[in-house]
Amino acid sequence: MSRTFVGWPAFPQAAAVATRDAQLRANVARATGTIRAKRAKLVAERPDWEELRDSAAALKDDVLTHLDTYLLQVEEKVTAAGGTVHWARDAAEANRIVTDLVRATGEREIVKVKSMLTEEIGLDNALAAAGIDARETDLAAAIVQLGDDLPSHVVVPALHRNRAEIRDIFVREMGRHGRPAPEGLSDDPPQLAEAARLHMREKFLKAKVAVSGANFLVAETGTAVVVESEGNGRMCLTLADTLITLVGLEKVVPTWRDLEVFLQLLARNATGERMAPYTTTWTGTTPGDGPQTFHLVLVDNGRTRALADEVGRQALRCIRCGACMNICPVYERTGGQSYGSVYPGPIGAILNPLLKGLDDPQTASLPYASSLCGACNDVCPVRIRFTDVLLELRHQVAEGDAKVKHPGEKAALRAVGAVMEHPAAWNAAIRAAGKAGPLIPKKKLPKPLSGWTDSRIVPGIPKESFRAWWERTDGGTE
Amino acid sequence: MRTALFVTCLNDGLFPRSGQATVKLLRRLGVEVEFPPAQSCCGQMHWNTGYRAETARLAAHFVKVFGEYDAVVVPSASCGGMPGEAYERAAETVGDAGLARAVRELAPRVHELTGFLTDVLDVEDVGAYFPHRVTYHPTCHSLRAAPVGARPYRLLRAVAGIEFIELPAQEECCGFGGTFSVKNPAVSGAMNADKARHVLETGASVLAAVDNSCLMNIGGRLAKDGHTVRTMHLAEILARTRADGPVLDLPHSTRELTR
Ligand code: SF4
């Protein structure tokens, strides 16, 4: 069993530990800073960038509005092209379907194309329990898997690791899962890439079964699309006999023309490239070319729950480009694992509660894992309004059906509100504050406010409030 | 034009100087503001923490206090943004269509101070004199939620004697975020530490902004670390004139000295 996010602490606790980890902070800041700069340069090249974003958001909204129709179209086209379509309500069902399909082939070691959905549903562990070893072939995903680590980013799952750490993982672990790392491996990136290449090539050539996700499903033809940088995905997608592709319900785009919009946005926004080096598309099976057996597993796992949320459903537009986490000042200081999910950063803060509900303290803490600065709103290629959704989810925690409640906070805010509504009471309160000023400890506030004074002092309360001054001087005229 | 000052609860209790500066500045520009004493809080803390029923109550109170005015001036981008951004939604949440209508009608008359100066009064040079080295932090609200754009910079650059230094990485949040700073103190503190470091890099003796909440955050950090950089609401800079002279305990700008 490899590690999972099950039982992860709530965000404030996890983040407090992460922010103290200087190495982690340096790694994440360096990586996000680099991608941010590359992205900004390439986005500036496109005079029609904002229009592309408008189109992408509108297309996704259309898909979400008519999801049932598009999904049936996908099923029809994939089936007609020789593939088999399976529907999975949740993680357990999806894992069972895939496990049964792999079992039927008799294979015990299979290869995987990087897929956040398979991480979301915990497929590797489910397969391992059935005696099947699924090896990651995306470089970053392989680093996470070899290191028995957890992903921290949707595009670069090992973003929190620097090259020295990666070298150590390769030297320590590669030999236990196949070809060992070359003697005297250094942390020079070309050397690391070569070590990964040699280690993985063996697996590509041996594997009869591949499991992948997909970035898009084109409904009009039933075509699956994988966009990647390394070409390792294409190896799996073309060399295996059996290909099993798991896709979240929301990944449909209606037509190839629509796909054009997303392909222009994705690479620029994700990795700061004009186009992704490898874009692989396939439609069912083709005799004598590529996998001869193709299974498509359409996975819900909370997506229809999210779809039912009027404000929150826009989170399903997400194309997993990672730009929101790259720009996020909170993510930069906590890394992705603090969010306790394979979906970290701003999208994680909204998507996890939408998929899973707000009934446990971990997910209920996520909508508060934001200063509401709104930097993510500006970079999202599908124009998700994170701040609107965060506020909506906070409302659901504070006043809605969510089981996690903050009764003390609610009572305190109600009490303050009651005073604020009544002019005489408020007037008295402001005046009392001036008198109490000297009594308030500037360096150490009591709980629950003590976090403030961990890194700041409290401003002194002036003896004379504005309103008292106004009254005394008749608006400053005396 | 009947103009009211909504000073905000934070400024009322903790930063009265910013309110006084706003009054002085507007008076110099020919605008006599009224201060309706029944005013209290915009409800931002409630709204941002998810308490919409409470926000709706404070919205109703806001309408009661300010509904009759032609213009409401607010020396805060985040509080000034509340009527436009939140009140209608809060009213809808509690099913109060009358309140929703009232706030829709009132919101366009509520102006953040710099917008009121440049757009309503159509001034950029407000006749201010401030011979000191100043940097400016564009608060997230003034940058993204209710964007004031280049207005504060234009106002600042028109101040006589000022030495204006751009703040590095200025668009990054200071980490305040209202209750975020209390619910997630570790992350908030880490963000604030970087902001404070950038402020120090400028060598400025004054950090200005249009939100005292963020200034309280950054200033609290600078003070804790023993730095003397002063935080001032933009209004306090714009309110000073040659008659006031330099601020006595602040170093002069080098620009002023070389004149
Ligand atoms: S939410 Fe938007 S910015 Fe974030 S990963 Fe998804 S598409 Fe990219």
Backbone torsions φ then ψ of B36, nearest 5 degrees: -65, 115
How many angstroms does the Cα of residue A305 sit away from the middle of ligand 1?
19
Query: Is A111 in a helix, a strand, or coil?
Result: strand
The tokens for B68 are: 């009759």
Same domain, yes or no: A214 and A265: yes
Residue-number span of the structural domain to which A319 is assigned? 312-398
- Tell whether A409 is covered by a domain: no
pLDDT tens readout for residues B111-170: 999 999 999 999 999 999 999 999 999 999 999 988 899 999 999 999 999 999 999 999
Residues of chain A neighbouring B46 (CB-CB closer than 8 A): 413, 417
A226 within some domain = yes
Residue nearest to atom 4 of ligand 1 (CA): A324
The answer as to whether A387 is a domain residue is: yes
Count other C-beta atoms under 10 Å from residue A462's C-beta: 17
Confidence at residue A416, expressed as pLDDT on a 0 to 100 scale: 82
Q: Where are the domains of chain B?
A: 3-120, 133-258
**Predicted local distance difference test score (pLDDT) of residue B258:** 46
Residue type, A388: D
Q: A435 and A372 in one domain?
A: no
CA A460/CA A370 separation, integer angstroms: 27
* Phi, psi dihedral angles at B198 (to 5 degrees): -65, -40
Q: How far is the CA of A315 from the centre of ligand 1 (A)?
A: 8
Q: Which residue in B177, B117, B176, B192 sits closest to B148, CA to CA?
A: B117
Question: Are residues A197 and A128 located together in one domain of the fold?
Answer: yes
Sign of CA dihedral A348, B179, B53, A404: positive
Mark whether A286 and A338 lie in a shared domain: no
Q: Which of A221, A207, A198, A395 is nearest to A311 (CA)?
A: A395
Per-residue pLDDT at B255 exceeds 80: no
CB contact under 8 A, A399 and B53: yes
Residues A165 and A240 in one domain: yes
In whole angstroms, give the CA distance from residue A340 to residue A475.
Answer: 53
Q: Say if pTM beats, i.e. exceeds, 0.90.
A: yes
Our mutation pick for probing the ligand 1 site, out of A120, A215, A321, A379, counting the most ligand atoms within 8 A of Cβ, is A321
* A99/A228 same-domain check: yes
pLDDT single digits (tens) A379-414: 999 999 999 999 999 999 999 877 777 778 888 888
Q: Which of A344, A340, A341 lies closest to A376, judged by CA?
A: A344
Question: Which residue has 């103009």 as its token pair?
Answer: B3
- A104 and A212 within one domain: yes
Assigned domain for A158 exists: yes
Q: Which residues pair with A135 in a beta bridge?
A: A111
Cβ count within 10 A of residue A104: 11
Q: What pLDDT score was predicted for residue B206? A: 98
The verdict on A141 and A55 lying in the same domain is yes
Cβ distance B182 to A448 less than 8 Å, yes or no, reads yes
Q: Which one, of A255, A325, A261, A260, lies nearest residue A49 by Cα?
A: A261
Q: Does A169 share its domain with A213?
A: yes
Q: Could you tell me if A358 and B50 are in contact, meaning their C-beta atoms sit under 8 angstroms apart? A: no
Do A391 and B48 touch, CB atoms closer than 8 A? yes
Over the stretch B179-229, which tens digit does the pLDDT of each residue have?
899 999 999 999 999 999 999 999 999 999 999 999 999 999 999 999 999
- Return the structure tokens found at A316: 């399903």
Whether residue A469 and residue B189 make contact (CB cut-off 8 A), yes or no, is: no
What's the number of domains chain A is made of?
Answer: 3
Check CB contact under 8 Å for B178 and A372: yes
| Residues 374-433 in A contacting B (C-alpha not used; CB under 8 Å) | 374-375, 377-378, 387, 391, 393-399, 409-410, 413-414, 416-417, 419-421, 423, 426-427, 430, 433
Residues 6 or more apart in contact with residue A201 via CB below 8 angstroms: none
Q: Residue B51 is nearest to which of A330, A413, A461, comparing CB atoms?
A: A413
What string of DSSP letters covers B196-228?
HHHHHHHT-SEEEES-HHHHHHHHHHHHHTT--
Burial of B91 by CB count in 10 Å (0-12 exposed, 13-18 middle, 19+ buried)? Answer: buried
Angstrom distance (rounded) from CA A359 to CA A289: 48
Q: Tell me, yes or no, whether A27 and A135 share the same domain.
A: yes
pLDDT in tens, A122-165: 999 999 999 999 999 999 999 999 999 999 999 999 999 999 99
Shared domain for A227 and A253, answered yes or no, is yes
Tokens matching residue A13? 């606790």
Could you give the CA distance from residue A63 to residue A71 in angstroms, rounded to a whole number?
9
Residue A36 falls within a domain, yes or no? Answer: yes
In a domain, A413, yes or no: no
Q: What ipTM describes this predicted complex?
A: 0.96
User: Could you give the CA distance from residue A58 to residue A472 in angstroms, rounded to a whole number?
Assistant: 57
Answer yes or no: are the C-beta atoms of B44 and B78 closer than 8 Å.
yes
Mutate to test the pocket of ligand 1, among A55, A320, A351, A378 (most ligand atoms within 8 A of CB): A320
Nearest to B193 among A434, A455, A459 (CB): A455
The amino acid at B43: G
Question: Is the domain of A148 the same as that of A181?
Answer: yes
